[in-house]
């Protein structure tokens, strides 16, 4: 852990709230009730990974801000 990540939420978000509950320091709710990233870049953390892996529609992606490599979803 410890990388700086650029996180995004795709329009396919269904607003389950899982990410907001898992990582409230990273995700908030937009005016359309879908999840949004509250600020970027964010520090990699266990709660962030839990949120990304637990998204029921796989709407969250993340890339390393130093290398530009996609770290989630793994290709």
What are the distances in angstroms from CA 14 to CA 10, 24, 60, 63, 68?
A: 10, 17, 11, 22, 27
| Sign of the alpha-carbon dihedral angle for 51, 13, 70, 4 | negative
Half-sphere exposure for 36 (CA within 13 Å, toward CB) = 8
Q: Which stretches of the chain drop beneath a pLDDT of 50?
A: none
The whole-model pTM stands at: 0.92
Region 4-70: CATH code: 3.30.70.20
| pLDDT of 1 | 64
Q: What are phi and psi of 38, to 5 degrees?
A: -75, -30
């Amino acid at each position: 852990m410890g990388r700086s990540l650029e996180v995004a939420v795709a329009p396919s978000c269904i607003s389950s709230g899982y990410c907001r509950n898992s990582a409230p320091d990273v995700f908030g709710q937009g005016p359309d009730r879908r999840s949004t990233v509250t600020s970027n870049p964010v520090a990699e953390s266990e709660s962030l990974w839990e949120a990304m892996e637990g998204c029921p529609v796989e709407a969250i992606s993340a890339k390393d801000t130093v290398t530009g490599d996609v770290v989630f979803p793994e290709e």
